[in-house]
Amino acid sequence: MQNFTVERLSFDTLTELPHAWQAQDYKALLLKTGYDNPEELGPDELKEMCLMGLTDLEPAEAAQLVLEHLFADELTPGQIENLAHQMLTEKLWEENPNLGQHEGFFKATQLLYTAYNGKFPRAEAVRFQVQLTADSPEFFQVFDTTPEAPLLRLLAQGMPDNTLLKRLFHEQLDGTSFPEAASIIWQLQPSKPNDTSLVFDVVSSAYWLDDFKYADTYQATTQADTVVEEH
């Protein structure tokens, strides 16, 4: 067990994930909507034309194209068709049983919400900076391999007992195996490292970590996941 002082430095609510959609994504979607030469569009035009191309379609049809782009290798055409209809009313980035697909569903819903001016559910994510301080530089080795799991163990200790993360994952938080952690923290960026402190920039769903906005500075312990080597 490693002991840290945990301090929340900032906390914001996002409706779009940073860097979620790149130029190549917009070009691929434009081709799917029947646009002939997306390569000729400037960077500023790509998103606007992509949104216009999507709104030329029925909402469920547009959702299907977006899901095909994001999940072509993971979902069957039948699954994509069903999920495209569900997206109109359901928060799939929270409700879908496959946690590994939550970030993709968030990205899809966020784009479609913008395109259709609110016909899809409003997606909310959170972004915050948290500073971890320890007595020894060696303590930070706990974040060397799979940092999401030990970080979530620290964050959970700053949130209420009834928070969803604790209710659904109390065994993983207490233990040394938390494979779902990398699907709960969507973006993680370390910064400002020195011998005694480290800052993490965290992006996740409000579903999991919104309660961290109430966290004050506190003491917490954590442990790394135990990696089982396959022979």
pLDDT on residue 37: 87
Residue 156 CA to its chain's centroid (Å): 17
Report pLDDT for 231.
39
pLDDT in tens, the chain (231 residues): 889 999 999 999 999 999 999 999 999 999 999 988 888 888 889 999 999 999 999 999 999 999 999 999 999 999 999 999 999 999 999 999 999 999 999 999 999 999 998 899 999 999 999 999 999 999 999 999 899 999 999 999 999 999 999 999 999 999 999 999 999 999 999 998 888 999 999 999 999 999 999 999 999 999 999 865 443
Q: Supply the pLDDT for residue 230.
A: 45
Give the pLDDT score at 193: 80
Who's near 101: CB < 8 A, 6+ residues apart? 71, 74, 92
- Give the whole-angstrom CA distance, residue 94 versus residue 166: 16
CA atoms within 13 A on the CB side of 225: 20
Q: What is the pLDDT of residue 81?
A: 96
Q: What is the pLDDT of residue 228?
A: 54
**CA–CA distance, 76 with 64 (Å, rounded to integer):** 11
Using a cut of 0.85, tell me whether the model's pTM lies above it. yes
